[in-house]
A and B are shown apart, each in its own frame.
Chain A
Amino acid sequence: VGAPEGVEPLISLADELGGLGFGLSGSSRRLLQEQALGMRRLLHGLVARAGAPAAPLLVVVAGGTGAGKSTTVNSLAGTRVAATSVVRPTTRAPVLVCHPEDLTWFEDERLLGDLPRVTGRDDAAGVGRRLVVHTSAGLPPGLALLDTPDVDSVETANHRLAEEVLDVADVWIWATTARTYADEVGMTYLRLARLRQVLTAVVVTQVRAADRDEVLADVDRLLGAEQTVPDVRLHVPFVQVVDERVDDDSIAPLRRWLTELAPPDERAAIRRRALRGMSSAVPIELAPLLQAMEAEEATAARLRGALDQAYRPVHEQLATELDTGIPLRADVLDRWRVLVGAGDTLARVQTAAHRIRGMVRDLTGAAGDVPPGSPRQVRAEVADTLSDALTRILEQAAWHARRRFENDPIGRGLLDAVPDLRGGDHDRPHRVRREVDAWGDQVASMVATVGAERKVQARRWSTALNAVATSAILVVFTVSGGLTGGEVGIAALASAASQALLVRMFGEQNLRRLLADARVHLDERVTDLIAADRRPYDRAIDAAAPPIGTVERLRRIVGEVRP
């Protein structure tokens, strides 16, 4: 059987709905998931029915608790197929009755595929989801009656099952009583029937002869006022129930109405109408889901914005700290100044003197810490300081991000859902250190490249390369924006010497370019670190938010669904 015209958009709509998690909808998540699932089920049912126009009509008898649904089904079937009782809810599994000829249609699981079939007497009272299938020659061929659990049952599983069954019904028989017809719960379902333009019969049961005219007139008035006028409104009088059935006379009008629906032409017409009605209802029923998804997109944007805000100050804060100078140990700086400030020979003498002094100190035991002055030590010191500062700034940003999430109802839910987010980032110091070291190497190699271009004297180069690279790093730290302004602004005394050395080696133009590049590279690495820091949050948001473009796709498909 080829798919009939107009169902393709319904199929793709159903597919789209399958992938929605509604992870950013907070407490309404479950509800929306169920709605999406329900919508999907509805669409699948619609497509299945459109593909089998010859199948018997599925007539679902639904209504509130105690409305006499099972009694009605038993009466119509002419035999006791559904149990009735005073203990509510009576019917926990939907019961299907059809003419024996039609049984094959319902044995395969095309319709209500997720409900396992049980044929004949059902003894497992209230256990598990299933569809109980009966046959009865008392029904005309081409019709199947389905007794449902109460739509207003206190047991959620029950009314959910009832809704599943209603979603795939061709015809609704809505049972209500003379006492409960003005209930809001029932009316919401009749409004749904109206929206979907399902063929509907409202049957008022247990109508006492004395109140009949008054009650029925009031029922009609109410249905009119609510704009839920059914295709037919029937009643069943209040009579003695024998063998869980009412007598044939009482049920005759309903039986007559049903029998008229059974011929194949009628059935096909009803199917077409159902498909049309449902297609026109789809955009309306889908609207809340689309709204929820748009709200989720807004929520995702809000949460990402919260992250942005938490992490935005990182660059600026680091720049401030670098511009005010890194707190290198004073003795390290002193040594460094001496080393790079002096010429080569003097430097070597001083280093030697320094070493001797150190040895003397070691001998006399006066040495606390030998002030380190070698380029490698200065570089390690710089890397330590920079790593510490960056780690701290990132830690602060992460804390602020956490706080923003905790104070956001949806964000809090996300933290609950992804426990790792609260776990703290133990890898951060190592990650930062790796980046800082890599940056140091990068600067060193830049210095080497620029040096090679300038053909700096080889002898001097080999001895001083380390010192030069370190100088460059130091200068990046301590030179504020003044450098780019043309003025060789110097923030810290130590870098004056470093800078003098660098200017000697490269020339001012090259030096400026080198330092600016070094600064840009550092900023890039910080950007990477920020991205790595907030990645778990971003991932959690991405996973919970509707996939990008889903809303637009759904809207487009909805536009294609034309009755």
Chain B
Amino acid sequence: VTEPRDRQVAAALDTILELGPRRLGDDAMNAVRELHARLDERLDRGEWFTVVAVAGGTGVGKSALVNALVGREVTAEGVRRPTTSVTSAALRRHDASSTALLDWLEIPERHQVGDALPDGFILLDLPDHDSVVETHRRTAARLARRVDVVVWVLDPLKYARADAFDGPLAPLTAHAAVLVMVLNRSDELTGEQLETCLADLRARLDSRGHGDAHVLVTSAATGEGVDELRTLLHGIILRRDAASRRLTADAEIVSARLAAEVDALPDLRTTTEDLLPSVLEATDGHRAIQEAGQRYRSDALRGCRSPLAGVVRAPLSVVRATVAGMGLLRPPDPLTSSGVTASRVEVALVRDLGVSQAVGRSYGAMNRSITAAAATAAPELLDAVATAGLDPGRRHWWSALATLRGVAELSVLLGLVWLIALSAGDWLRLPELTAPELVDGLPWPTALILVGVLVRLALGVISRLGAAIGARRHARAVGHEIRRRLHQVVDARLLAPVRAEVEDHRRLIVAVHALGASTGADGGR
């Protein structure tokens, strides 16, 4: 493969073969594979030779035209139909590369005609494409696909037949450079009739997409137009690029077909940020945040308890543990399973990415990747939520408050004990004990109790307040952390695969476009 255009086509075909199967229909992919194989096989056999096939329906005079072009009889003409049953090739002389090419084309009959044909010219006489014999139809169709230049022969009788246009000619709509239309048997018409006929033929060719093809009028019987046809063919052969042009034109046809089939690139502007709210909801992140706050609150309240309160509450917690051990107070199951999350995440992705309308065949790969991504990401998302620091840990101010509360409670206790001791002494009629007074009229034990109760109440309010404030701050921090973790997972596990699929889709579209991009610089014919 030497020509830049061939390389471009080959590269595009490789890309389409890689990315197409999951995005394009089987028929379209078969067309791509066929073209890919033919491109390799034909260009491997070199472009020195140009294979020109004379094709057409029964009785249009293909063989006569071939013989007229060569200047001697290489193929039998006759009145019986079909006349040509074995495809024959005429060429100057055999060599290794011509043999390789003819073997590839599966042409059994080969005539060396010496100087009658220029070097590099292989002329084929094809069987009738509309013959009653099926093998002839198949051979004609196969060769019309493989050869470099097609000379399509019509005659005044057959030029308006459907099978003349629907058959092997139909796909050659980008092939102006390598397609020659010939109206043979012109001797059967008068000049005026010929003009009418030719105008009608041109109109039909136009409507079928062959409007740019060369149209020549010939008569193998009188020799009219044969020189003109020969000159035209020699011109094509001397360029030595007919094979490449033929394949390029085929690529253009395939490209148009693929372009019709490949859906437009999905418009994916959705960012991770856009997805976060839905994912947070899908993973019950809000609940996790709320629970983190509650957990902090209860932990804080417990942490602020004085050791004294702990001693008092000890029997209570033993009961509670026993009950829990009996399974009567089983804590709730984790409320979100990974399967449920996967389903939620998938629907969230479909909603947020706006792909619910983009479900064409070309999106098949992307849609499958959404389902797969949702399934693989779900456990990670749940994990991200679960491990995002639900445990608030301990705060120093809890112990400080606990100590202070302990001191307050101790002071109340001390005051009580003191008063009780005083009362007991009084009751036992012991010598009168007097409590020292803190200030005038306020004895120490009473002061201890009063101050202790007041301080303890104040501390209680402070710890509740602190716990509430702390809980809010903690929930906020946990929320940040959950969002940060989800962000990472969403980016890496959800959006990345989808973005990769979109990128592949984009590459496919580019390749399909490149496959059909016209030859540009060196023109159409």
Contact = CB atoms under 8 A, between A and B. Distances in A.
Nearest to B196: A87
Contacts of A159: 162
A167 B324 CA distance: 89
A107 interface: no
B45 to A, nearest CB: 32
B156 A66 contact: yes
Contact of B339 (A87, A179, A320): A320
B329 A493 contact: yes
Contacts of B329: 493
Given A66-B156, A88-B200, A177-B157, A327 B336 contact: yes
Interface in B105-159: 128, 130-133, 137, 155-159
B164 interface: yes
Contacts of A330: 287, 290-291, 294
Given A177-B157, A185-B163, A395 B330 contact: no
B162 A153 contact: yes
Nearest to A405: B359
Q: Which of A88, A182, A331, A490 is the most central at the interface, judged by chain B CB atoms within 10 Å of its CB?
A: A182
B331 A493 contact: yes
B333 A492 contact: yes
Interface in A50-104: 64-66, 86-89
Given A153-B161, A222-B81, A330-B291, 16 more contacts: A65-B157, A156-B162, A178-B79, A182-B81, A183-B130, A184-B132, A185-B161, A214-B80, A218-B79, A325-B335, A330-B287, A396-B347, A399-B359, A403-B367, A412-B360, A490-B330
Nearest to B468: A366
21 contacts: A66-B156, A66-B157, A180-B157, A182-B81, A182-B82, A182-B128, A184-B131, A184-B137, A185-B163, A211-B79, A218-B81, A317-B339, A320-B339, A324-B335, A325-B335, A326-B335, A392-B344, A396-B347, A399-B347, A492-B332, A494-B332
Contacts of B404: none
A154 B203 CA distance: 12
A507 interface: no
A152 B161 contact: yes
Interface residues of A, number: 59
A183 B287 contact: no
Contacts of A66: 156-158
Contacts of A64: 161
Nearest to A182: B81
Given A66-B156, A86-B189, A86-B193, A182 B361 contact: no
B171 to A, nearest CB: 16
Interface in B344-371: 344, 346-347, 350-351, 356-357, 359-361, 363-364, 367
Nearest to A402: B359
A308 to B, nearest CB: 18
Interface in A393-416: 393, 395-396, 399, 402-403, 406-407, 409, 412
A424 interface: yes
A395 B348 CA distance: 10
B160 A154 contact: yes
A226 interface: yes
A187 interface: yes
A456 to B, nearest CB: 26
A513 interface: no
A422 interface: yes
Nearest to A185: B163
A281 interface: no
Nearest to A368: B472
B504 interface: no
A321 interface: yes
A179 B137 CA distance: 17
Given A86-B189, A185-B161, A403 B364 contact: yes
Nearest to B162: A154
Contacts of A211: 79
A111 interface: no
A293 B15 CA distance: 40
B373 to A, nearest CB: 14
A214 B79 CA distance: 8
A327 B130 contact: no
Residue among A86, A152, A156, A317 with max Cβ neighbours from chain B (10 Å) = A86
Contacts of B335: 324-327, 492
Interface in B280-312: 284, 287, 290-291, 294
Contact of B332 (A86, A153, A177, A493): A493
Across chains A and B, which 9 residue pairs bring their CB atoms closest together, nearest first? A88-B160, A182-B81, A179-B59, A66-B157, A211-B79, A86-B193, A218-B80, A325-B335, A406-B359
B152 to A, nearest CB: 14
Contacts of B346: 396
Contacts of A491: 332-333
Nearest to B335: A325
Contacts, number: 164
Interface string A92-127: 000000000000000000000000000000000000
A325 B158 contact: no
B516 interface: no
A321 B79 contact: no
A342 to B, nearest CB: 16
Contact of A182 (B58, B157, B347): B58
Interface in B374-390: none
B350 A86 contact: no
Interface in B186-242: 189, 193, 196-197, 200, 204
A67 B80 CA distance: 17
A433 B336 CA distance: 22
A553 interface: no
B161 A65 contact: yes
Contact of B58 (A180, A214, A412, A494): A180
A521 interface: no
B343 interface: yes
B24 to A, nearest CB: 11
Contacts of A395: 347, 350-351
B165 interface: yes
Contacts of B361: 406-407, 412
A181 B160 contact: no
B284 to A, nearest CB: 5
A403 B359 contact: yes
B337 A154 contact: no
A241 B25 CA distance: 54
Contacts of B344: 392
Nearest to A222: B132
A83 to B, nearest CB: 14
Contacts of B334: 324
Nearest to B328: A496
Nearest to B346: A396
A329 B287 contact: yes
Nearest to A88: B160
Contacts of B364: 403, 406-407
B158 A180 contact: yes
A286 interface: no
Nearest to A218: B80
B29 to A, nearest CB: 13
B80 to A, nearest CB: 4
Nearest to B60: A179
A226 B132 contact: yes
Contacts of B496: none
A494 B333 CA distance: 11
Contacts of B200: 87-88
A156 B162 CA distance: 8
Contact of A184 (B130, B189, B339): B130
Nearest to A394: B347
A64 B164 CA distance: 12
A179 B81 contact: yes
B337 A493 contact: no
B366 to A, nearest CB: 10
Of listed B79, B351, B367, residue having the most chain A CB within 10 A: B79
A20 interface: no
A66 B330 CA distance: 94
